[in-house]
C-alpha cells in the first residue's frame, strides 16, 4: 500500500482571500471510522464546523443536546420535513435524521466549511439539493472481519444492534460509486492525512474562489492588486 506523506497543508491566499465554503460529506458503514476521523478533523481545522443534525433517536449517556444532535420527537421532525426546512433527511433503522438548511447556508456564505456525518441516503439528497457546494468521501473498512471487530470493540451497541449493522453493511458499501472519493481506512492517522489533502485541493477550486475574478481583472488592467 502506498502511504500518503504526512504533510502539514497551508492554504494559499488568492486575491482577497474570499472563498465560498463547501459541504464535506463523510460516509461509511457503521464502525469503519468516519466518526473518529470527523472528530479529529474538527479538532485540527478551525475553518470547519460540524453540521448538527436533528434526530428522533434517544440521546445516549455521553451525548449533549445541541452539540451531538438536536434531539426531538417524531411530530416535530415531521413538521420540519413538511416546511422543507431540511437539506436532507432519512430513516436509519427505527429513527429519523435530518440536516437543517439555514445554518448550513449561512456558513457557506461566510466562507466556512461544513462537515456532514451522513449515510448514503442523506448524501444522495445533498447531491440533489446542493451539488455545486458538495465534496463527498466514502470510508471503507479494510475487511468485513475488521468491521465486526471495531463494532464490538467500541462497546456502544447491544449484540442485536451490532448484528443489524453488520447485516446492513453490504448495502451501504454498494453505494461507494456515488461518492467523489473512496478511501480504505486501515490506519486512522493516514486516512485523516489523506482527507486533509482532499480538503485543501477542493478549497482551491476556481468555483470557490469568489474573490478571484476581481483579482484577475486588476492584474489584467495593470492595477495594483
Does 211 have pLDDT greater than 50?
yes
Does 11 have pLDDT greater than 60?
no
Q: Where do the domains of the chain lie, and which CATH numbers do they carry?
A: 23-51+113-220 (3.40.50.300)
Does 10 have pLDDT greater than 70?
no
Structure-model confidence comparison of residues 198 and 19, the more confident one = 198
Q: Are strands 134-140 and 23-27 parallel, antiparallel or unpaired?
A: parallel
Distance CA 184, CA 191 (A): 8
pTM of the model: 0.78
Rounded to the nearest 5 percent, the helix, strand and coil shares of the chain are 45, 20, 35
pLDDT of residue 182: 96
Residue 157: pLDDT band with limits 50, 70, 90: low
For 184, phi and psi rounded to 5 degrees?
A: -100, 120
**CB distance 53 to 69 below 8 Å:** yes
Mean pLDDT of 49-73: 92
Does 142 have pLDDT greater than 80?
yes
pLDDT above 90 covers a percentage of the chain that reads 53
Q: Which residue's C-alpha cell is 471503507? A: 140
Nearest CA among 94, 65, 96, 93 for reference residue 78:
96
Structure-model confidence comparison of residues 138 and 33, the more confident one = 138
pLDDT of residue 108: 94
Which residue spans within the chain are E strands per DSSP?
Answer: 23-27, 48-50, 54-55, 70-71, 86-92, 95-100, 113-117, 134-140, 181-184
Amino acid at each position: 500500500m502506498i502511504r500518503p506523506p504526512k504533510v502539514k497543508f497551508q492554504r494559499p491566499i488568492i486575491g482577497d482571500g474570499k472563498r465560498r465554503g463547501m459541504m464535506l460529506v463523510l460516509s461509511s458503514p457503521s464502525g469503519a471510522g468516519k466518526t473518529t476521523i470527523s472528530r479529529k478533523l474538527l479538532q485540527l481545522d478551525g475553518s470547519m464546523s460540524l453540521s448538527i443534525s436533528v434526530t428522533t433517536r434517544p440521546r445516549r449517556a455521553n451525548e449533549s443536546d445541541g452539540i451531538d444532535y438536536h434531539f426531538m420527537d417524531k411530530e416535530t421532525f415531521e413538521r420540519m420535513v413538511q416546511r422543507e426546512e431540511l437539506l436532507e433527511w432519512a430513516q436509519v433503522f427505527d429513527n429519523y435524521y435530518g440536516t437543517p438548511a439555514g445554518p448550513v447556508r449561512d456558513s457557506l456564505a461566510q466562507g466556512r466549511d461544513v462537515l456532514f456525518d451522513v449515510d448514503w441516503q442523506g448524501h444522495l439528497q445533498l447531491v440533489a439539493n446542493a451539488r455545486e457546494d458538495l465534496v463527498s468521501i466514502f470510508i471503507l473498512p479494510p475487511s468485513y472481519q475488521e468491521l465486526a471487530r471495531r463494532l464490538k470493540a467500541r462497546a456502544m451497541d447491544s449484540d442485536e444492534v451490532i448484528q443489524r449493522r453488520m447485516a446492513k453493511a453490504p448495502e451501504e458499501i454498494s453505494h461507494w460509486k456515488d461518492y467523489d472519493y473512496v478511501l480504505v481506512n486501515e490506519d486512522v492517522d493516514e486516512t485523516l492525512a489523506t482527507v486533509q489533502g482532499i480538503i485543501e485541493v477542493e478549497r482551491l477550486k476556481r468555483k470557490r474562489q469568489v474573490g478571484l475574478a476581481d483579482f484577475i481583472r486588476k492584474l489584467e488592467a495593470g492595477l495594483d492588486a
